[in-house]
Amino acid sequence: MTTQQHDSANLFHALHTPTTPLALANAWDAASARLVESAGARAIATTSAGVAWGLGAADGDHLDRDQAIALIARVVNAVSLPVTADIESGFGATPAEVAETVTGVIAAGAVGINIEDAHPDLPALRPVADQCERLAAARSAADAAGLPLFINARLDTYLRAIGPEETRLQETLDRARAYLDAGASGIFVPGVTDPDVIAALTAGIPAPVNILAGPGAPSVPELSKLGVARVSLGSGVAEAAYAVALRAAAELATTGTYTSLTDAIPYGDLNSLMNR
């Protein structure tokens, strides 16, 4: 780990503030990362779904760990901004294997991770104690590397509609506090767009709260007023990009026309972006 990476990690931590939430249009390869950087982003985040799809795998712990880390390294090398990597549930069955993943991610140059509590083989979340062991292992690996890694603990109670709705908020707050005690730096709660619930989350979680945004969600300024410190688009940008590919292919196959390509980025602009 270099001094530059350490400084980048500290900067990344500092970017998490409700005053000016860190807005992340998640990338999935070097080109998308450079595009996000060129648009004025303050940091780069990867999307595990987009990364997996681009490498020919399904999201949800189906991607080979080495492939994922190699992609993270390419993204880091493509940009000059701090990079945080979505590592799904850790690419490992045990806490020790999660630690190995985190060691590799740090070696690739990332300064943050997302790690989720959904179990890849079950429709439920991991038991709190089990997830805390995995988070603690991630923190220990970062400490061993000497890096203040930002661990964004993803909590899927709302995304997966876990438990009765009337107890879901308390379950989320309880898990969040346990995850923070285990070494998490922030809490990511996808699947929430209701302003009252978001406000309750930011009031009850003593750490930066990350919300997944998209059409129908409050705007970044609105989320700022609710106390949100980080806003992510998740797999949404990759989904939109692949939608263009599908529309163009379907139009070509059915009508033989090309209007789906009308708003494409010019070849020269993209090539110049990648030629620096």
Mean pLDDT of 128-141: 98
Please give the pLDDT value at position 76.
98
Question: How confident is the model over 69-95, as a mean pLDDT?
Answer: 97
What are the percentages of helix, strand and coil residues in the chain, rounded to 5?
50, 10, 40
* Residue 137 near residue 99, CB atoms below 8 Å: yes
Model confidence band, residue 153 (pLDDT cutoffs 50, 70, 90): very high
The model's pLDDT over 62-72, given as tens digits with 9 standing for 90+, comes to 999 999 999 99
If you average pLDDT over residues 240-246, what whole number do you get? 98
pTM for the whole structure: 0.96
Tell me the HSE value of 115 on the side-chain side, using a 13 A CA sphere. 32
Between CA 175 and CA 181, with CA 180 as vertex, the angle to 5 degrees is: 100
Q: How far apart are CA 87 and CA 147, in angstroms?
A: 17
Q: Which two tokens stand for residue 39?
A: 């648009």
pLDDT higher than threshold 80 for residue 122: no
pLDDT score recorded for residue 199: 98
CA distance 26 to 33: 8
Q: What is the mean pLDDT of residues 28-35?
A: 98
Domains of the chain: 3-234 (3.20.20.60)
Average pLDDT, the chain: 96
pLDDT range class, residue 88, cuts 50, 70, 90: very high
Contact call for residues 143 and 151 (beta carbons, < 8 A) = no
- Pairwise CA distance, residues 103 & 123, whole Å: 28
Helices (H), 146-235: 165-182, 195-204, 220-225
Give the pLDDT mean for 46-52: 97
- What contacts 216, CB < 8 A, 6 or more positions away? 193
Residue 272: C-alpha distances to residues 68, 83, 238, 261, 268 (Å): 26, 22, 22, 20, 6
Q: Residue 177 pLDDT > 90, yes or no?
A: yes
The confidence score (pLDDT) of residue 193 equals: 96
Answer yes or no: is pLDDT of 123 > 80: no
Question: For residues 154 and 48, what is the distance between their CA atoms, to the nearest angstrom?
Answer: 12
pLDDT grade for 98, boundaries at 50, 70 and 90? very high
Q: Which pLDDT belongs to residue 238?
A: 98
Looking at residue 139, what is its pLDDT? 98
Looking at residue 93, what is its pLDDT? 94
CA 147 to CA 150: how far, in whole Å?
9
DSSP state, 63?
S
Per-residue model confidence (pLDDT) at position 276:
75
- If you average pLDDT over residues 109-122, what whole number do you get? 92
Q: Give the range among 57-61, 109-113, 215-219, 251-255 with minimum mean pLDDT.
A: 57-61
Over range 226-234, report the average pLDDT.
98
Report CA Rg, the chain: 19
**pLDDT of 97:** 98
pLDDT bucket at 121, cuts 50 / 70 / 90: confident
Q: Which residue has the tokens 């980025």?
A: 265
